[in-house]
Amino acid sequence: MPLRPETDDEPAPGVRRWLISCDETGVHGSRFYGFGSLWMGWQRRGEFQQLIREVRERHDYFSEIKWTSVKTHSHEFYTDLVEEFFRTSWMQFHCVLVEKALVRREMHNGDYDLARRKHFTLLLTNKIQRALRAHRDRPQTFRVWVDQIHSRYEKADEVVELISNSVLKAVSGRKNCVDGVHPHRSHDTPSIQLSDLLLGAVWSAFEESAEAEAKLDLQTWIAWHLGWPDLAADTKPSTRKFNIWVFYDPTRGRRRAITRPVQLRYPLPGGRS
């Protein structure tokens, strides 16, 4: 399927644009499905490309970055990449995981496809609302890059954009906060690849599916940067650097996920987590 054209523009003077690079997981027969989003300022794209290039060259690793490629021979590369992510204050990762058994399909026309798209939109609008509140005195827009959404609906990206803007206008009064949701091929987009890696590590901790030593070690390494023993927990909603949101339906009984405070090994400016 051809990708929707994207305007190679810059935001208007004084407008802060965020780049949100997204990926999904758990679309085939898993207990959980989820979406990850890597955040950075639009103007940081060049610095990000340089960071990735330098880590690749240090380890002579030029394959696609993804969770399924974490193996013994690539372990040092991925360990270094995670370290760079946590050391770099202008990158953030936010994700949502949804346990399929708790999804009330009658609320989504009996369709997991529709439910997934709704949960992806919910992740975007929730986190964008928080950014709007945190920087309420500055105009902001949000450009979303996403690996092609697994959906029967060809224009799923356009629907996510329209619904997100509708929701955000209703809650904030601001029009067209999302200035584009654009599919990008993950093979050519390192920011989506890094989102895949971090999301895969969290998802597999809940699925308990990581068995290879290299993957288990990388999960432990990510958790160590959060001050955690493992990744099988979620964070408080206000956590900014690495936010895990395990979605639940309060009508389905008590919340199963453990929520832990984050103690970053490399705190954000101002000592924030």
Q: How far apart are CA 62 and CA 52, in angstroms?
A: 10
Domain-wise residue ranges, the chain: 16-271
Nearest CA to 3 among 114, 106, 145, 143?
A: 145
Reference 194, options 261, 94, 272; nearest CA is: 94
With contact defined as beta carbons under 8 Å apart, do 155 and 161 qualify?
no
* CB count in 10 Å sphere of residue 165: 20
- Nearest residue to 36 via CA among 142, 120, 132, 148: 120
From first to last of the 273 residues of the chain, give the pLDDT tens digit: 456 567 668 888 999 999 999 999 988 888 999 999 999 999 999 999 999 999 999 999 999 999 999 999 999 999 999 999 999 999 999 999 999 888 765 555 556 677 888 899 999 999 999 999 999 889 999 999 999 776 655 677 888 999 999 999 999 999 999 999 999 999 999 999 999 999 999 999 999 988 899 999 999 999 999 999 999 999 999 999 999 999 987 776 667 789 999 999 999 998 899
Q: What angle do CA 207, 212, 214 make, to 5 degrees?
A: 110
CA dist., res. 25 & res. 198, Å (int): 11
Q: How far apart are CA 216 and CA 78, in angstroms?
A: 12
State the pLDDT at residue 268: 96
The Cα 80–Cα 78 span in angstroms is 5
Structure tokens, 8: 């190679």
Alpha carbon distances (Å) from 169 to 69, 120, 228: 40, 18, 37
Mention the CATH class of domain 16-271. alpha beta
Question: In 3D, which of 189, 173, 116, 196 has the Cα closest to residue 149?
Answer: 116
